[in-house]
Homo-oligomer: A and B are copies of this chain.
Amino acid sequence: TGVAMMKFKSPPVNSLSLEFLTEFSISLEKLENDRACRGVIITSALPKIFSSGLDITEMCGKSVEHYAEFWRAVQEMWLRLYGSNMVTVAAVNGSSPAGGCLVALSCDYRIMAENPKFSIGLNEAQLGIVAPFWFKDTFVNVVGHRIAERSLQLGSLHPAPEAHKLGLVDELVPEEKLMEKAAAVMAQWLALPDHARQLTKTMMRKAVLDRLVAHREEDIKNFITFVSKESIQKSLRMYMEMLKKKKH
């Protein structure tokens, strides 16, 4: 059918580790180069979670070189996904904070399970960290400046119904109909001629993509400086402790 399915399966919560991101980017590149593939549906193979976002262990107590490699991998994933020529549909079948939300925001269309226990948002501020400018740009392109300003400052995680109301996701469906709906949406988007659709997509997203490309090394340096601060390291360690306690 020309449609690939990517199912995140990295227990327990599909954290975006360096390894995960690298594999994700390679998979996207392969599909991009496969002329038989015109679209990809991204979802999770794990229950209740789409992706928990960037893997905090990659940002804690590691070397400067590691931070640089990790951040480059985050950038690479986003550049490939947000700039993909394929039709990209996120079937958000669980919670999707921070980097997980970015993955969904970078797709062409977002369908979410209408379970109010599932939430989505760029909640970095809650952890004492700041979403980089290109997370922000992607967010603003979806929900507009005002909603982004408020949501980013509060580090809000929006329950599915609220996320839908804000335009953060395009549609809510019962969880058991999520994949069926994703396939239907994909078919609708693939009904258009690829060339015109791709040029249109590029026209809409180029300014924001170019901005990271132009400032990529600077953005890596900023990340390293920020994450190397003792205060940030402390925040991240506290957050990890909290997550561990939650599990038990």
A: which residues have CB within 8 A of B? Answer: 108-109, 124-131, 133, 136, 140-146, 148-150, 152-155, 167, 170, 188-189, 192-193, 195-197, 199-201, 203-205, 231, 235
Contact = CB atoms under 8 A, between A and B. Distances in A.
Given A143-B146, A196-B125, A130 B235 contact: no
A193 B141 contact: no
Contacts of A155: 192, 196
B130 A141 contact: no
Nearest to A229: B195
Contacts of A124: 196, 200
A84 to B, nearest CB: 12
Contacts of A189: 153-154
A37 B192 CA distance: 44
Nearest to A194: B128
Contacts of A199: 130
Contacts of A136: 203-204
Contacts of A188: 154
A129 B196 contact: yes
A34 B128 CA distance: 22
B146 A195 contact: no
A197 B125 contact: yes
23 contacts: A108-B150, A109-B150, A124-B196, A124-B200, A125-B200, A127-B196, A129-B196, A130-B203, A136-B203, A136-B204, A141-B146, A143-B146, A146-B167, A149-B201, A150-B170, A152-B203, A152-B204, A153-B192, A153-B197, A153-B200, A153-B201, A154-B188, A195-B231
